[in-house]
Chains A and B, each alone.
Chain A
C-alpha cells in the first residue's frame, strides 16, 4: 500500500506572523516549520505502516511525504522523514508563490498522479487544516480533482484491506464513515499525539530519498498557479489593535467574586 502524506511548511505560530506588501503571507522572513497539524497525519500514516508490519499476512506500506512550498520548506519535508516517512517529494517552483487553495490543490493533485504513475497511490493523508491559512479546504478540493472520495476530520482511523473506516466528531453528531481506497483522508489533533523524531530517525533521514519536482515535471503550466492566477484577491490586511489590559483584582476573602459581579452588572450581562 502506498500512502502519500501532504505536509505544509508554515510560519511559526508563536512568531510574529505577518503579510508581505502584496498581501501574501510572509513565508520567508518568518521562521517556518512543518505545520503541527500535519504531524498528526504523518503519525497516523506511520501507525498504519507499523500495524501492517505486525500483521502476519502484512502487505508492506510505504509512506511518502509530499510538500508544495518554497526552498526552505525542505525543513518540513526532512522533519517528516525524521519522524519515519520512507521518502519524500518536494514540489518547488518560483511560479507557485502566492497560490491559493485551488491552485495548491491542483499542484498536489498532479503530484499525486505522477507519484502514482508507478505502483499507484492508495491513500492521500492530510492534516485537518494548515496552521496559517486554516481554510480546511485543500483535502476536499484535492479529492474533487482526483475524483476520489474524501473521509475527513478523522479522530480514529482504521483500515482493513482496501477499506477505510473513520470516526468523525461533527457539530451535531458523531459519525462513522466508510469508504474504499483510493481516497483522501484528513485527521484531527484528536487522533493521537505525534511522535518526536528519535536520534536514530534523524540519522536515518539523511539517507532517505528526497525528490524535488518542478511544475514542468508534473505537467502544470506556470500560468495556472501563483498569485496572478488566484481565484480570489486580498484587498487589504490590517493588524488588529492589541487589546488593552483592563482592571485586574486580587481575590481576598471573596472580594474577587463581588468585584466580578459588579463588573458584569455594569456591562449589563446580568
Chain B
C-alpha cells in the first residue's frame, strides 16, 4: 500500500487535534505517514502521539532552517519528502499557513490541489473530496486529475479513530534554498489562551454581534455554562470589542459545530458563510424580521441582555 503523507499540525511540538483527524482520513487512502516539521528532540514524543492514530512512519524534519520564515521553506521540505516516498496523497490542515504551503507545493509537484475539504473518501484508492461552497449553499465533490493529490482538510472533518501504527521515526534532512528564506518572521506574539475551547474544534459556540453593544459578558456567561467557545460577527470585531481571531464568517473562521447560538447578530450573508453548516442553529435577536431567523432551529425574539443571563442561570440550575 502507498504511503499517505500527513503534515502534523502542532504548536512547538504539542500536536493539535486536526492531525489525528487527518491520520484517520489517511488510513482510508493508504498507509498513514506523519511529517513533523519541528524541533528534532521532540520527534519521539510526537511519534508516540501520532502512532496511536495509525501513523506507520514519522518523518522528522529539523526546523532550524525553517521556523524563522513564512511558508516557503515548509513547502520545500514537504516537496523533498514527497519526491522521496512518492505518496498516494498529501493531506495538510486547512488553515491559513496550511493552504499556502499546499499552494506552493502544488506548483512544485505540478499536482492538483483541493482546499477546504470537509470529507475525503477513497474511490479505488483515489481520493474523492467533499467541499462546501458559495457560503455553504452548495456541496461539491471533486477529484485530483494530475500528479499527487494534495488536499487541505478542515478541522472536524472526521472523528479521530485510534488504531495502533508502528510510528517508526525517520529523520529527514531537507535542503532549504536561500530563495525560500525571503519572508522572515521578525516578531511573534502568541495569542493569550482564553481557557475556553478552540473555535475550530468547539462543539458549541455562542457568538455575539453588534447587538451586544460591546458587552460580551452575557455571551461569555452562556458559553461557559454550556462549555462552549465564544465567537463574534465582524461588526463586533470592527467595533474593537473582541479580537479578529474570534470572527466567524467569510473573512473569519468557518465553523460547523453541533450547536451555534447567534446573539445580537442579524445574519448577513458573509456571517452565514461561516456558520450555516452548523448542525443546530439558535438565535436571540430583538428584531423578529432579522434574517438570521430564516436559518434557525430555535429562535427567541427578545433582548439578549436579559434572555442570555436568564438562560445561563437556567442552564446552571439544570446542571445542578
A positions within 8 Å CB-CB of B: 13-14, 17, 19, 23, 37, 100-102, 105, 128-129, 131-132, 134-141, 143-145, 147-153, 155, 165, 169-180, 183, 188-190, 230-240, 243, 245-251, 254, 256-261, 263-265, 267, 269-270
Does B319 lie within 8 Å of A177, measured CB to CB? no
Give chain A nearest CB distance to B166 CB in angstroms. Answer: 30
Per the 8 Å Cβ criterion, residues 49-63 of B in contact with A are: none
Does B183 lie within 8 Å of A128, measured CB to CB? no
Does A256 lie within 8 Å of B284, measured CB to CB? yes
A165 to chain B: closest residue by CB: B186
Per-position 1/0 for B99-123, Cβ under 8 A of A: 1111110111011111110000000
Contact of B282 among A131, A149, A263 (CB under 8 A): A263
A171 to chain B: closest residue by CB: B95
Give chain B nearest CB distance to A231 CB in angstroms. Answer: 3
Contacts of B101 in A (CB 8 A): 140
Q: Which applies to chain A's interface (DSSP): helix, strand, loop or mixed?
A: mixed
Does B99 lie within 8 Å of A237, measured CB to CB? no
Interface residues of B, count at CB 8 A: 92
Contacts of A254 in B (CB 8 A): 306, 310
Contacts of A175 in B (CB 8 A): 185-189
Alpha-carbon gap, A188 to B190, bound state (A) = 20
Residue B157 interfacial (CB < 8 Å): no
Can you name 28 A-B residue pairings with CB atoms under 8 Å?
Answer: A101-B103, A102-B106, A136-B96, A136-B115, A140-B99, A149-B72, A150-B72, A165-B186, A172-B11, A172-B191, A173-B191, A174-B188, A177-B185, A179-B182, A230-B112, A232-B113, A232-B146, A239-B137, A243-B281, A243-B296, A245-B294, A251-B301, A251-B302, A251-B303, A251-B307, A257-B300, A264-B226, A265-B318
Does B145 lie within 8 Å of A233, measured CB to CB? yes
Per-position 1/0 for B15-55, Cβ under 8 A of A: 00000000000000000000000000000000000000000
Contacts of A235 in B (CB 8 A): 128, 141-143
B positions within 8 Å CB-CB of A: 11, 70-72, 75, 95-97, 99-104, 106-108, 110-116, 128, 132-147, 179, 182-191, 200, 204, 226, 234, 243-245, 250-251, 258-259, 269-270, 276, 280-282, 284, 288, 293-303, 306-308, 310-311, 313-315, 318-319
A236 to chain B: closest residue by CB: B141
Q: Which applies to chain B's interface (DSSP): helix, strand, loop or mixed?
A: mixed
Does A169 lie within 8 Å of B245, measured CB to CB? yes
Give chain A nearest CB distance to B109 CB in angstroms. Answer: 10
Contacts of B182 in A (CB 8 A): 148-149, 179-180, 183
Q: Which of A23, A37, A101 has the most CB of B within 10 A?
A: A101
Alpha-carbon gap, A173 to B96, bound state (A) = 12
Alpha-carbon gap, A173 to B192, bound state (A) = 9
Alpha-carbon gap, A175 to B190, bound state (A) = 8
Alpha-carbon gap, A101 to B143, bound state (A) = 14
Does B250 lie within 8 Å of A134, measured CB to CB? yes
Does A232 lie within 8 Å of B244, measured CB to CB? no
Does A137 lie within 8 Å of B75, measured CB to CB? no
Contacts of A14 in B (CB 8 A): 269
Give chain A nearest CB distance to B145 CB in angstroms. Answer: 5
Give chain B nearest CB distance to A265 CB in angstroms. Answer: 6
Contact of A232 among B11, B142, B200 (CB under 8 A): B142
B254 to chain A: closest residue by CB: A134
Contacts of A190 in B (CB 8 A): 244
Contact of B136 among A150, A172, A230, A240 (CB under 8 A): A240
Contacts of A149 in B (CB 8 A): 70, 72, 182-183
Contact of B300 among A165, A238, A259 (CB under 8 A): A259
Alpha-carbon gap, A129 to B96, bound state (A) = 11
Does B96 lie within 8 Å of A153, measured CB to CB? yes
Alpha-carbon gap, A141 to B314, bound state (A) = 52
Does A249 lie within 8 Å of B244, measured CB to CB? no
Alpha-carbon gap, A105 to B101, bound state (A) = 15
Does A128 lie within 8 Å of B251, measured CB to CB? yes
Give chain B nearest CB distance to A248 CB in angstroms. Answer: 4
Give chain B nearest CB distance to A102 CB in angstroms. Answer: 6
